[in-house]
Amino acid sequence: MFPKKILIVEDESIIAEDMADSLIALGYRVTRIVYSGEEALESAAEERPDLVLMDVNLQGEIDGITAAEEMRSRFQIPVVYLTAYADDNTLRRVNATKPFGYIVKPFEEKNLHTTIQLALHRHQYDSLTNLPNGSFLREQLSRILDNQKQLRGLIPVVTLSLDRINRINSTLGHDMGNFVICSIAQRLNNCNDKINIVARLESAEFSIVFEPVKHKQDAVNIAQRILEIVAQAILVESCEVYVTASIGISLYPWDGSDADELLKNAYTAMYHAQEKGGNNYQFYAANTANYSMNKLSQESCLRNALKRSEFEVYYEPKVAIKTGKIVGAEALVRWNHPEMGRVSPGEFIPMAEEMGLIAPLGEWVLETACKQTKAWQAQGLGPLRVAVNVSARQFEQKNITERVSEILTETGLAPKYLELELTESLVLEDETAVFQAFNVWRNLGIRVAIDDFGTGYASLSYSKRFPFDVIKIDKSFIRNITEDRQNAAITIAIIQMAHCMNMTVVAEGVEDEQELAFLCAHDCDEIQGYFFSKALPKADFEALLKSGKRWDF
Ligand code: C2E
Ligand code: MG
Ligand code: MG
């Protein structure tokens, strides 16, 4: 593999040289060191680096943030910012450009390396099909929407899943499965000049954003055409293989105002197409209305759900690698809707946030989880820890810090048994409020964890200001860890770095023995995931505790 090329834009030459030395020692190639935004853009045009390290405060006409914007829009080169301790205003501007990461100066070599690895990982194209990946598509779509304020027309957002690909994998082998996926990727990419971007999301899932169309009927034609293209025979070693697809479509602006919503709704429609047996397309809304209730009535249901005791806390075991024993649980809320059945938190937490209901719901989860954990401890089931998720919107609630300590007092749970999980992006969104709460909690002896690590802006430098107790590696890195060398390298780097900073490392979403073996071998501390158990209702979790179950690694 060729070393990755990095351009350094930094006007303090000592720092720049120092950084260049570190990068070279880490196996990167430094294309050049430049001192201004203008030079940076020239150099990027000539040398096309894989990544740019960009000082936020540059002298000259073009400052670092403007130069970074240009890097992305003109050259699609990911940028990692370099900042000295930054004020809130600068941070806000930096975050608004959705950076691929940033590094606080003076930098540490380990931080530098991991942040760059994460940034390159987020930016990569899918190596099997050479298509962009989902996060690239999402960003691209956001950019398209930002530029579409006066759009006349509809933007079709399509998600597509190949039906029964697992059968091809199991009958013809994975190589053939991959061959089929690549052929389809190629066909999609060449099928229609109205395509704006095609990306591969997961194994056999693609997403396509089209140029604006005039009528919904145009989107119908597009979908029919895709079904035909996919259905054409694929020649594999002189035998013909046939696949079909399930297609979901959402239309901007009807079915959503931002990239996340449009993609989510296209997904919902795609599931609907799958449920209809595959080889068909479905639009969001019109056809899914029967499935998901309309938002209004769902909202009024959610409003009453707390009163009606429709929420339930489930517990997902956390297992310590050293002992193979359950050391704690993550509390995960479930909504048992009287008609719809179990609704996933992925669906109703964002809604609760939007509606301002997350504060009472969050408090209820916290209270329930603390009370329950204390009860288990009192039964002699061990010095159990409980982890509770805290969402960004809960910080808008002024007294969140006090509420946490009140709940501990009320329930009698010792603070050291409580762990609060915050996501990376949350920390950056409202730095000041989080920083204050963080200090109060740490002083009380509550443990604070950074959740879904690696999915947000990789801001390892923040661990200086926010000395987290626990880092939770996101499940997307754990997936295929034994086959995906990049995921493996990143996971190892995160573990080592976290240990240097005295943090406990938890891996989430561990599903099989290979993943577990890898994490054991690389010194991860705690594991969560379906390999051990899904999140369980309290009675089942209690039974598991009582069984004294212990895993042998
Ligand atoms: P999270 O905090 O990252 O929680 C982990 C999610 O991954 C849980 O999904 C869990 O059931 C799932 N998971 C665990 N092991 C595996 C595995 O081996 N494979 C796979 N594919 N998935 C696994 P869940 O319960 O659906 O929760 C989704 C998200 O909803 C959570 O992500 C969390 O961000 C949010 N959430 C759940 N409960 C609460 C809550 O009480 N308050 C807040 N603010 N957010 C919550
Ligand atoms: Mg969590
Ligand atoms: Mg998580």
Q: Which CATH number goes with the domain that contains 361?
A: 3.20.20.450
Question: What is the whole-number distance in angstroms between the Cα of residue 484 and the centre of ligand 2?
Answer: 24
Nearest-angstrom CA–CA distance, 458 and 477: 14
Ligand 1, residues at Cβ distance < 6 Å: 316, 332-333, 344-346, 349, 362, 365, 389-391, 421, 451-452, 475, 508-511, 528-530, 535
Instruction: Select from 459, 464, 416 the least CA-distant residue to 441.
Output: 416
Query: Which pLDDT belongs to residue 528?
Result: 97
Residue 293 domain flag: no
Residue 552 domain flag: no
| pLDDT tens digits, 389-400 | 998 788 777 688
Give the CATH number, domain containing residue 149.
3.30.70.270
User: Ligand nearest 392 Cα, by number?
Assistant: 1
User: Ligand nearest 345 Cα, by number?
Assistant: 1
**Residue 200 three-state SS:** strand
Query: Which pLDDT belongs to residue 457?
Result: 60
**Residues 143 and 212 reside in one and the same domain:** yes
Question: Last residue of a domain, which of 237, 258, 284?
Answer: 284
Nearest-angstrom CA–CA distance, 530 and 107: 38
Element (H, E) at 389: strand 385-389
Question: What is the whole-number distance in angstroms between the Cα of residue 84 and the centre of ligand 3?
Answer: 30
**Residues 147 and 116 reside in one and the same domain:** no
Element (H, E) at 409: helix 400-411
Q: What is the pTM of this model?
A: 0.67
Per-residue confidence at 70, pLDDT binned at 50, 70, 90?
Answer: confident
Nearest-angstrom CA–CA distance, 512 and 529: 9
**Residues 115 and 193 reside in one and the same domain:** no
Instruction: Select from 165, 228, 239 the least CA-distant residue to 200.
Output: 165
Sign, CA torsion 134/135/137/138: positive
Tokens of 345: 């938190």
Spatial neighbors of 211 by CB under 8 A, at least 6 apart, are: 155, 194, 195, 196
**For 12-25, what is the mean pLDDT?**
94
Query: Which pLDDT belongs to residue 253?
Result: 85
Query: Which pLDDT belongs to residue 289?
Result: 45
Tokens of 466: 């926010």
**For 352-365, what is the mean pLDDT?**
88
Nearest-angstrom CA–CA distance, 117 and 110: 11
Per-residue confidence at 485, pLDDT binned at 50, 70, 90?
Answer: confident
Residue 290 domain flag: no
**Residues 409 and 481 reside in one and the same domain:** yes
Residue 507 domain flag: yes
**For 461-478, what is the mean pLDDT?**
84
**Residues 19 and 146 reside in one and the same domain:** no
**Residues 118 and 140 reside in one and the same domain:** no
The alpha carbon of residue 523 and the mean position of all alpha carbons in its chain are separated, in whole angstroms, by 23
Helices then strands, counting H and E runs in the chain, come out as 21, 21
Question: What is the whole-number distance in angstroms between the Cα of residue 24 and the centre of ligand 3?
Answer: 34
Element (H, E) at 275: helix 259-275
Q: Report the atom number in ligand 1 closest to the C-alpha of 511.
A: 18
DSSP letter, residue 385: E
Nearest-angstrom CA–CA distance, 127 and 369: 42
Asked if residues 393 and 358 have their Cβ atoms less than 8 Å apart, the reply is yes
Question: What is the whole-number distance in angstroms between the Cα of residue 476 and the centre of ligand 3?
Answer: 10
Residue 128 domain flag: no
Nearest-angstrom CA–CA distance, 507 and 528: 6
On the CB side of 262, CA atoms within 13 Å amount to: 26
Q: Report the atom number in ligand 1 closest to the C-alpha of 474.
A: 3
Residue 291 domain flag: no
H-assigned helices in 124-243? 134-146, 165-172, 174-190, 216-231
Question: Last residue of a domain, which of 60, 90, 122?
Answer: 122
Residue 34 domain flag: yes
Nearest-angstrom CA–CA distance, 210 and 7: 33
**Residues 80 and 150 reside in one and the same domain:** no
Question: What is the whole-number distance in angstroms between the Cα of residue 474 and the centre of ligand 3?
Answer: 6
**Residues 379 and 479 reside in one and the same domain:** yes
Query: Which pLDDT belongs to residue 411?
Result: 97
Spatial neighbors of 546 by CB under 8 A, at least 6 apart, are: 381
Per-residue confidence at 459, pLDDT binned at 50, 70, 90?
Answer: low
Residue 427 domain flag: yes
Question: Last residue of a domain, which of 232, 250, 284?
Answer: 284
Better pLDDT: 43 or 166 = 43
Instruction: Select from 189, 184, 160, 187 the least CA-distant residue to 247.
Output: 160
**Residues 379 and 526 reside in one and the same domain:** yes
**Residues 190 and 339 reside in one and the same domain:** no
Torsions phi, psi for 276 (to 5 deg): -80, 5
User: Ligand nearest 331 Cα, by number?
Assistant: 1
Give the CATH number, domain containing residue 106.
3.40.50.2300
Instruction: Select from 545, 535, 527 the least CA-distant residue to 333.
Output: 535
Question: What is the whole-number distance in angstroms between the Cα of residue 56 and the centre of ligand 2?
Answer: 32
Nearest-angstrom CA–CA distance, 418 and 351: 26
Which of 80-94, 132-146, 267-281, 492-506 has the highest average model confidence (pLDDT)? 492-506
**For 82-88, what is the mean pLDDT?**
77
Sign, CA torsion 335/340/346/350: negative
**Residues 80 and 185 reside in one and the same domain:** no
User: Ligand nearest 478 Cα, by number?
Assistant: 1
Domain holding 61, by residue range, is 5-122
Domain count, the chain: 3
- In the chain, % helix, strand, coil (3-state, to 5) comes to 45, 25, 30
9-18, 254-263, 279-288, range with the lowest pLDDT: 279-288
**Residues 118 and 138 reside in one and the same domain:** no
Per-residue confidence at 85, pLDDT binned at 50, 70, 90?
Answer: low
Torsions phi, psi for 241 (to 5 deg): -115, 140
**For 448-453, what is the mean pLDDT?**
91
* Integer angstrom CA distances of residue 57 from 11, 78, 119: 9, 18, 21
Question: What is the whole-number distance in angstroms between the Cα of residue 528 and the centre of ligand 1?
Answer: 11
Bond before 467 cis per omega within 30 degrees? no
Candidate of 202, 389, 519 to mutate for ligand 1, largest count of ligand atoms within 8 Å of Cβ: 389
| pLDDT tens digits, 300-331 | 788 889 988 999 999 999 999 999 999 999 99
Order of strands, sheet of 205-210, starting from the edge strand that comes earlier in the sequence: 195-200, 205-210, 155-162, 245-252, 280-283
Query: Which pLDDT belongs to residue 488?
Result: 93
Query: Which pLDDT belongs to residue 291?
Result: 44
| pLDDT tens digits, 183-235 | 898 888 777 668 888 888 877 899 999 988 888 889 999 999 999 999 998 88
Residue located nearest, by CA, to atom 23 of ligand 1: 509
Asked if residues 37 and 66 have their Cβ atoms less than 8 Å apart, the reply is yes
Residue located nearest, by CA, to atom 6 of ligand 1: 509
